[in-house]
Amino acid sequence: MARADGGCGVTASHVAWYTVRASGYTALVLLTLSMVLGLLLSLNVRSPRWPRFVTNDLHGFTTLVALVFIAIHLAATVLDPFMHFGLAGALVPFASGYRTIGMAAGIVAGYLMLAVWISSRLQRLIGWRTWRTLHYAVFAVYVLSVAHTLVTGEDASTTWGRWIVVGSVVVVAALTALRALGARAVPAKTAQRGA
Protein backbone atom coordinates (compact mmCIF):
# COMPACT_ATOMS: atom_id res chain seq x y z
CA MET A 1 0.00 0.00 0.00
CA ALA A 2 1.40 3.34 -0.95
CA ARG A 3 0.35 6.59 0.67
CA ALA A 4 -0.16 9.81 -1.27
CA ASP A 5 3.09 11.20 0.19
CA GLY A 6 5.02 8.20 -1.21
CA GLY A 7 5.43 6.45 2.16
CA CYS A 8 4.34 2.97 3.02
CA GLY A 9 0.83 2.58 4.45
CA VAL A 10 1.40 -0.74 6.18
CA THR A 11 0.25 -0.50 9.76
CA ALA A 12 0.73 -2.70 12.83
CA SER A 13 -2.82 -3.88 12.27
CA HIS A 14 -1.94 -5.05 8.73
CA VAL A 15 1.12 -6.91 10.00
CA ALA A 16 -0.87 -8.57 12.79
CA TRP A 17 -3.70 -9.48 10.41
CA TYR A 18 -1.40 -11.11 7.85
CA THR A 19 0.58 -12.84 10.60
CA VAL A 20 -2.63 -14.29 12.09
CA ARG A 21 -3.71 -15.64 8.70
CA ALA A 22 -0.30 -16.99 7.60
CA SER A 23 0.53 -18.60 10.94
CA GLY A 24 -2.94 -20.18 11.17
CA TYR A 25 -2.72 -21.86 7.79
CA THR A 26 0.89 -22.86 8.41
CA ALA A 27 -0.16 -24.46 11.71
CA LEU A 28 -2.98 -26.34 9.94
CA VAL A 29 -0.59 -27.68 7.27
CA LEU A 30 1.90 -28.74 9.97
CA LEU A 31 -0.89 -30.36 12.01
CA THR A 32 -1.95 -32.24 8.88
CA LEU A 33 1.63 -33.41 8.31
CA SER A 34 1.87 -34.50 11.95
CA MET A 35 -1.42 -36.41 11.66
CA VAL A 36 -0.24 -38.08 8.45
CA LEU A 37 3.07 -39.14 10.04
CA GLY A 38 1.30 -40.41 13.16
CA LEU A 39 -1.22 -42.38 11.13
CA LEU A 40 1.54 -43.85 8.96
CA LEU A 41 3.37 -44.89 12.13
CA SER A 42 0.21 -46.52 13.49
CA LEU A 43 -0.27 -48.33 10.16
CA ASN A 44 3.30 -49.66 10.48
CA VAL A 45 4.29 -48.20 7.10
CA ARG A 46 8.03 -48.80 6.92
CA SER A 47 10.95 -48.41 4.58
CA PRO A 48 14.48 -49.79 4.98
CA ARG A 49 15.79 -46.39 3.91
CA TRP A 50 13.58 -44.51 6.39
CA PRO A 51 13.90 -46.07 9.85
CA ARG A 52 10.97 -45.88 12.27
CA PHE A 53 12.90 -43.74 14.79
CA VAL A 54 13.37 -41.08 12.09
CA THR A 55 9.62 -41.04 11.44
CA ASN A 56 8.94 -40.88 15.20
CA ASP A 57 11.32 -37.95 15.60
CA LEU A 58 9.92 -36.19 12.53
CA HIS A 59 6.37 -36.69 13.87
CA GLY A 60 7.34 -35.14 17.23
CA PHE A 61 9.29 -32.30 15.61
CA THR A 62 6.45 -31.46 13.20
CA THR A 63 4.04 -31.31 16.13
CA LEU A 64 6.40 -29.00 18.04
CA VAL A 65 6.78 -26.67 15.04
CA ALA A 66 2.98 -26.64 14.64
CA LEU A 67 2.74 -25.56 18.30
CA VAL A 68 5.24 -22.76 17.61
CA PHE A 69 3.04 -21.50 14.77
CA ILE A 70 -0.02 -21.77 17.01
CA ALA A 71 1.83 -19.60 19.55
CA ILE A 72 2.63 -17.06 16.79
CA HIS A 73 -1.04 -17.20 15.70
CA LEU A 74 -2.13 -16.59 19.30
CA ALA A 75 0.37 -13.76 19.90
CA ALA A 76 -0.60 -11.98 16.68
CA THR A 77 -4.28 -12.34 17.61
CA VAL A 78 -3.69 -10.80 21.04
CA LEU A 79 -1.52 -8.00 19.64
CA ASP A 80 -3.83 -7.08 16.76
CA PRO A 81 -4.64 -3.40 17.44
CA PHE A 82 -7.74 -3.46 15.22
CA MET A 83 -9.62 -6.47 16.62
CA HIS A 84 -8.80 -5.96 20.32
CA PHE A 85 -9.21 -9.62 21.31
CA GLY A 86 -7.10 -9.28 24.42
CA LEU A 87 -5.85 -12.24 26.44
CA ALA A 88 -9.28 -13.46 27.50
CA GLY A 89 -10.65 -13.42 23.96
CA ALA A 90 -7.68 -15.44 22.72
CA LEU A 91 -7.24 -17.80 25.67
CA VAL A 92 -10.71 -18.44 27.14
CA PRO A 93 -13.23 -20.43 25.08
CA PHE A 94 -16.47 -18.50 24.41
CA ALA A 95 -15.01 -15.24 25.79
CA SER A 96 -14.68 -13.62 22.36
CA GLY A 97 -17.64 -11.94 20.74
CA TYR A 98 -16.05 -12.50 17.33
CA ARG A 99 -17.24 -15.75 15.73
CA THR A 100 -17.51 -17.24 19.19
CA ILE A 101 -17.93 -20.90 18.23
CA GLY A 102 -15.01 -20.83 15.78
CA MET A 103 -12.77 -19.03 18.25
CA ALA A 104 -13.68 -21.50 21.01
CA ALA A 105 -12.91 -24.43 18.69
CA GLY A 106 -9.44 -23.03 17.99
CA ILE A 107 -8.71 -22.29 21.65
CA VAL A 108 -9.76 -25.77 22.81
CA ALA A 109 -7.79 -27.35 19.93
CA GLY A 110 -4.67 -25.46 21.01
CA TYR A 111 -4.98 -26.58 24.63
CA LEU A 112 -5.62 -30.20 23.62
CA MET A 113 -2.68 -30.21 21.22
CA LEU A 114 -0.37 -28.85 23.92
CA ALA A 115 -1.64 -31.51 26.36
CA VAL A 116 -1.02 -34.30 23.82
CA TRP A 117 2.47 -33.00 23.09
CA ILE A 118 3.29 -32.80 26.81
CA SER A 119 1.94 -36.31 27.37
CA SER A 120 4.27 -37.53 24.62
CA ARG A 121 7.23 -35.98 26.43
CA LEU A 122 6.07 -37.74 29.63
CA GLN A 123 5.25 -41.09 28.00
CA ARG A 124 7.76 -43.06 30.08
CA LEU A 125 6.46 -41.48 33.27
CA ILE A 126 2.72 -41.91 32.59
CA GLY A 127 2.97 -45.28 30.86
CA TRP A 128 2.22 -46.40 27.34
CA ARG A 129 -1.47 -47.22 27.89
CA THR A 130 -2.26 -43.80 29.43
CA TRP A 131 -0.26 -42.02 26.75
CA ARG A 132 -2.07 -43.91 23.99
CA THR A 133 -5.47 -43.08 25.47
CA LEU A 134 -4.52 -39.39 25.71
CA HIS A 135 -3.06 -39.48 22.20
CA TYR A 136 -6.50 -40.18 20.70
CA ALA A 137 -7.31 -36.55 21.54
CA VAL A 138 -5.39 -35.63 18.37
CA PHE A 139 -8.52 -36.47 16.40
CA ALA A 140 -10.46 -33.87 18.41
CA VAL A 141 -7.57 -31.42 17.90
CA TYR A 142 -7.75 -31.96 14.16
CA VAL A 143 -11.55 -31.66 13.87
CA LEU A 144 -11.61 -28.55 16.07
CA SER A 145 -8.74 -27.00 14.08
CA VAL A 146 -10.53 -27.55 10.79
CA ALA A 147 -13.75 -26.14 12.31
CA HIS A 148 -11.80 -23.11 13.56
CA THR A 149 -10.35 -22.57 10.09
CA LEU A 150 -13.71 -22.85 8.33
CA VAL A 151 -15.71 -20.76 10.80
CA THR A 152 -13.15 -18.12 11.78
CA GLY A 153 -10.60 -18.07 8.97
CA GLU A 154 -11.08 -15.25 6.51
CA ASP A 155 -9.29 -17.22 3.80
CA ALA A 156 -11.56 -20.28 4.04
CA SER A 157 -13.68 -18.74 1.29
CA THR A 158 -10.72 -18.27 -1.08
CA THR A 159 -9.84 -20.96 -3.60
CA TRP A 160 -6.41 -21.62 -2.11
CA GLY A 161 -7.80 -21.66 1.45
CA ARG A 162 -10.54 -24.09 0.51
CA TRP A 163 -8.11 -26.42 -1.25
CA ILE A 164 -5.75 -26.50 1.72
CA VAL A 165 -8.64 -27.53 3.97
CA VAL A 166 -10.10 -30.01 1.47
CA GLY A 167 -6.71 -31.59 0.76
CA SER A 168 -5.97 -31.86 4.46
CA VAL A 169 -9.33 -33.44 5.29
CA VAL A 170 -9.17 -35.93 2.40
CA VAL A 171 -5.69 -37.17 3.33
CA VAL A 172 -6.34 -37.39 7.07
CA ALA A 173 -9.78 -38.99 6.59
CA ALA A 174 -8.39 -41.60 4.16
CA LEU A 175 -5.54 -42.58 6.47
CA THR A 176 -7.88 -42.62 9.48
CA ALA A 177 -10.25 -44.93 7.60
CA LEU A 178 -7.34 -47.22 6.69
CA ARG A 179 -6.25 -47.21 10.33
CA ALA A 180 -9.78 -48.00 11.55
CA LEU A 181 -10.17 -50.82 9.02
CA GLY A 182 -6.72 -52.18 9.86
CA ALA A 183 -7.44 -52.14 13.59
CA ARG A 184 -10.65 -54.16 13.03
CA ALA A 185 -8.92 -56.72 10.83
CA VAL A 186 -6.32 -57.55 13.51
CA PRO A 187 -7.25 -59.43 16.69
CA ALA A 188 -7.48 -57.07 19.70
CA LYS A 189 -4.36 -58.36 21.53
CA THR A 190 -2.19 -58.08 18.42
CA ALA A 191 -3.51 -54.60 17.59
CA GLN A 192 -2.81 -53.48 21.16
CA ARG A 193 0.81 -54.69 21.05
CA GLY A 194 1.61 -53.52 17.52
CA ALA A 195 0.14 -50.01 17.47
Q: What percent of the chain has pLDDT over 70?
A: 89
For 54-66, write each residue's pLDDT tens digit. Answer: 888 999 999 999 9
| pLDDT at site 7 | 52
Examine residue 35 and state whether it is found in any structural domain, yes or no: yes
**Is 172 in a helix, a strand, or coil?**
helix
For 66-117, write each residue's pLDDT tens digit. Answer: 999 999 999 999 998 888 888 999 999 999 999 999 999 999 999 999 999 9
Nearest to 156 by CA among 93, 109, 106, 81: 106
Sign of torsion, CA 179 184 187 189?
positive
Examine residue 189 and state whether it is found in any structural domain, yes or no: no
Examine residue 122 and state whether it is found in any structural domain, yes or no: yes
Looking at 9-23, 48-62, 142-156, 180-194, which range is the least confident one? 180-194
Q: Which helix (H) or strand (E) holds 189?
A: helix 188-194
Examine residue 191 and state whether it is found in any structural domain, yes or no: no
* Predicted confidence (pLDDT) at residue 192 exceeds the cutoff of 60: no
Confidence tier at 4 by pLDDT (50, 70, 90): very low
Examine residue 195 and state whether it is found in any structural domain, yes or no: no
* Predicted confidence (pLDDT) at residue 194 exceeds the cutoff of 80: no
Q: What percent of the chain has pLDDT over 90?
A: 72
* Predicted confidence (pLDDT) at residue 181 exceeds the cutoff of 70: yes
Examine residue 156 and state whether it is found in any structural domain, yes or no: yes
| pLDDT at site 19 | 94
Examine residue 192 and state whether it is found in any structural domain, yes or no: no
* Predicted confidence (pLDDT) at residue 5 exceeds the cutoff of 80: no
| pLDDT at site 189 | 44
Tell me the mean pLDDT in the region 139-161.
95
Examine residue 63 and state whether it is found in any structural domain, yes or no: yes
Question: How many residues are there in the chain?
Answer: 195
Position with higher pLDDT, 46 vs 117: 117
Give residue 58's domain range.
13-184
Nearest to 30 by CA among 78, 68, 2: 68
- How many domains is the chain built from? 1
Q: For residues 41 and 74, give the distance between their C-alpha atoms in angstroms, rounded to a whole number.
A: 30
Sequence-separated (6 or more) residues with CB below 8 Å from residue 104: 93, 94, 96
